[in-house]
Amino acid sequence: MSYEPPTPPADLPTDIIDTLNEYSPELLRDVARYAEDLAEYREREARLAEADEEDEIDERPDDLPDDVPSKATITIKEINDNRYYYWQWREGDRVKSKYRSPVNPDE
C-alpha cells in the first residue's frame, strides 16, 4: 500500500473526484460496494436484453407475418365444422388473432 493518494482514472469526472475526496473511509467503502453492485446489475441487464433480442430473432417463424409479434402462438379454431389455424397473442388485456390457414385433415 502506497503512502501517496491514488491517481483517479482519467475519464472520471472532476466533480465526482472532488466529492469522493471529501468522504470518510467507511463511506468510500460503501460507495465502492454500491458501484460494484450497480455495475454487475447493469451488465446483467445488458446481457439479458441481448439474449432477449437474439431469442426474438432466432425464434421468429419464417411464415410469421410482419404484423404478428414473435410471441404469438398457433391455435386452432373451429368455425362451422371447419378447423383453421390462427396466430394468437396478447396485447394488454386483449387477445388478438390473425388467420393463418385451414387445418389439413391429414395432419
Each residue's pLDDT, cut to its tens digit, for the chain (107 residues) gives 678 989 999 999 999 999 999 999 999 999 999 999 888 888 888 887 776 665 555 455 667 777 888 788 888 888 888 889 888 988 888 888 888 888 887 65
What integer pLDDT is reported at residue 11 of this predicted model? Answer: 95
| CA–CA gap between residue 27 and residue 18 (Å, rounded) | 14
CA–CA distance, 53 with 102 (Å, rounded to integer): 31
- For residue 69, give every residue at least 6 positions away whose Cβ sits within 8 Å of its Cβ, in sequence order, or none: 89
Answer whether 67's CB lies under 8 Å from 98's CB: yes
**Assessment of whether the complete model's pTM goes beyond 0.75:** no
CB 76 within 8 Å of CB 88: no
